[in-house]
Amino acid sequence: MDERAFYVLAYDIADDRRRAKIAKAMEAVGERVQGSVFEAYLSGAELEKLLRKMVKLMDGGQDGLRVYCLCSACRGKIQTRGLGKVTPPPGLAII
């Protein structure tokens, strides 16, 4: 299985319908930390699948998506003020 990396995904979508579909897809894989900003731990395959889906949903002439991969050293330097916390790495679930 691919190792997961920490990503910050931010979008600017002009159309409300497209924005809602993109938000739903992002919510399925990550945590919303701001209105159009998500944090997610994704494998390479998961990221590629998400990006293919985003390209299909977006209008390349009006919409934008940014994906930032942060190494563990960079994650340790994230600062927050006010509400919110940095998304923790996925844990081990014991059922």
pLDDT of 75? 87
> Looking at the domain assignment, is residue 21 inside a domain?
yes
Residue 55 is part of which domain span? 5-75
Residue 55 domain flag: yes
Q: Is the pTM of this model over 0.95?
A: no
Domain contains 95? no
Task: Quote helix, strand, coil % in the chain, to nearest 5.
Answer: 30, 25, 40
CATH code assigned at 66: 3.30.70.240
- Residue among 59, 55, 78, 72 nearest 17 (CA): 59
Residue-level pLDDT at 63: 96
The answer to whether residues 25 and 19 touch, using CB atoms and an 8 Å cutoff, is: no
Count how many domains the chain has.
Answer: 1
Is 35 domain-assigned?
yes
In a domain, 41, yes or no: yes
pLDDT along the chain (95 residues), means of 10: 87 95 95 95 95 94 96 88 84 56
Is residue 81 a part of any domain in this protein?
no
